[in-house]
Amino acid sequence: MLLSDLQTKDVINIKNGNNLGRIIDARVDESGKITYFVVEERKIMRKVIRSGETSFSFEKIKKIGADVILVDL
């Protein structure tokens, strides 16, 4: 699976059901392993300007589905 495939899926926190947004970046260590993903906060209204990011490690991913990525944060 490519990073671009993951970027089209919504990230959902299984603890509370919140939609965290979509993956915008990934941090890769020197050996080529992904250390964590960066998710941009979902904006509900275009006029509201919010800049928030959440990051999580690959181990926090519980399931990758057709439309969503479930994480345990």
Reference 56, options 26, 19, 28; nearest CA is 26
The domain spans of the chain are: 3-71
Q: For domain 3-71, give the CATH number.
A: 2.30.30.240
Question: pLDDT tens digit string along 3-33?
Answer: 888 889 999 999 999 888 889 889 999 998 8
pTM for this prediction: 0.77
Question: pLDDT tens digit string along 27-53?
Answer: 999 998 888 999 887 666 555 555 577
Which are the contacts of 72, defined by CB distance < 8 A and separation ≥ 6? Answer: 13, 14, 15, 60, 62
